C-alpha cells in the first residue's frame, strides 16, 4: 500500500471506490505551499484540467487513500499518467494526526485557461463528499469557468 493525495474529482470516496475498489480513504488534510489551479486547456475535452502548483501562501484540501499497486495502475490509466498528461509527485500532507508523505498527480502543461462549469461542479461536489470545509467548497463553486464546453 502507498498513500495517494487526491485534490480533484478523486476527492469523492464513491468515485474512488469505483476506480480503486481495494483502496480506502484513510484521512483528509492539507497540502501547504501549493494551490489548486487549472491548465492544459487545449488538452482537455471540456476546458482546462485541475492541477496543483507551488505557492508559498496557499494550501489545497486533499483526501488521502491507501492505494494498492493494482489500484495504482488502474488510477494511472484513469488519470492518463501512462500517457504523460499527468506525472506523479510526492507531497507532504498535514492531517489531524500528523504529517504524511503521499504521491499526487500534477498536470504536465502550462497553467492557465478555464475549466467548464460542469467540471468545476464535479470538483466542488467531490470536495463536499470528502467533507472539505464549507468555505473551501464555496470558493471552488465561485471560481471563474466556461459556461459551455469547447
In terms of Cα–Cα distance, which of 65, 53, 57, 69 is closest to 106?
Answer: 53
Residue 119 assigned to a binding site: yes
Annotated catalytic residue within 41, 72, 79, 128: 79
In terms of Cα–Cα distance, which of 86, 89, 68, 91 is closest to 16?
Answer: 68
Q: Is 79 a catalytic residue?
A: yes
**Could you tell me which residues come within 8 angstroms of residue 86 by beta carbon, excluding any fewer than 6 positions away?**
51, 79, 80, 105, 106, 107, 108
User: What is the H or E stretch that residue 75 is in?
Assistant: helix 69-78
Q: Which residues are catalytic?
A: 79
Q: Residues comprising the binding site for substrate?
A: 119
Amino acid at each position: 500500500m502507498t498513500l495517494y493525495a487526491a485534490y480533484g474529482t478523486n476527492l469523492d470516496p464513491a468515485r474512488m471506490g469505483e476506480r480503486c475498489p481495494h483502496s480506502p480513504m484513510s484521512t483528509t488534510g492539507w497540502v501547504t505551499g501549493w494551490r489548486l489551479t487549472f491548465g492544459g486547456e487545449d488538452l482537455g475535452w471540456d476546458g482546462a484540467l485541475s492541477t496543483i502548483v507551488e505557492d508559498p501562501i496557499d494550501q489545497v484540501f486533499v483526501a488521502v487513500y491507501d492505494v494498492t499497486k493494482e489500484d495504482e495502475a488502474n488510477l494511472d490509466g484513469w488519470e492518463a499518467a501512462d500517457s504523460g498528461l499527468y506525472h506523479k509527485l510526492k507531497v507532504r500532507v498535514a492531517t489531524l494526526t500528523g504529517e504524511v508523505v503521499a504521491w499526487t498527480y500534477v498536470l504536465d502543461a502550462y497553467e492557465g485557461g478555464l475549466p467548464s462549469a460542469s467540471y468545476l461542479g464535479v470538483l466542488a461536489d467531490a470536495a463536499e463528499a470528502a467533507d472539505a470545509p464549507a468555505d473551501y467548497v464555496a470558493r471552488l463553486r465561485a471560481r471563474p469557468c466556461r459556461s459551455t464546453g469547447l
